[in-house]
Amino acid sequence: MTDPVSSIRNLGPAMDEACARAGIHSAEELRALGADAAYARLLATGTRPHFIGYYVLVMGLQGRPWNDCKGKEKADLRARFDAIKAATKPAAASRLVAELDALGVRVRSEDLIAQS
């Protein structure tokens, strides 16, 4: 029997659901992937990026309370989070944007600025 993702400190039922959507079905799988790879998978499958969610995951995998992250460690985690977020594009959103671009129906932000 495997332990659910929510058996990891700081993680609850919402993380069980998000991980299942990302193909991560146990605490063991999550630990094997590690925080960065797992978070990238979460983002790729539609989880909205949120720094606190990321560092709660990191702290949980280390067995630490979520609010134990401070100072330089927190700044370093923010840099890792920003890099993961920049490198990961949600699959569904990317397809939708590509299709809207192909149809010529998506309004670009620079067009909105020019209209104001």
Model confidence pLDDT, tens digit, residues 37-78: 999 999 998 898 999 999 999 999 999 999 999 999 999 999
Per the listing, tokens 């998506």 go with: 106
The boundaries of the domain holding residue 83 are 5-90
Q: Give alpha helix (H) positions in 1-116.
A: 13-21, 27-33, 35-44, 51-61, 71-87, 91-103, 109-115
Between these two residues, 100 and 3, which has the higher pLDDT value? Answer: 3
Whole-angstrom Cα distance, residue 41 to residue 84? 10
Number of domains in the chain: 1
CATH number, domain with residue 59: 1.10.150.20
115 within a domain of the structure (yes/no): no
106 within a domain of the structure (yes/no): no
Average pLDDT score, the chain: 87
Structure tokens at 113: 């600025």
Whole-angstrom Cα distance, residue 77 to residue 83? 10
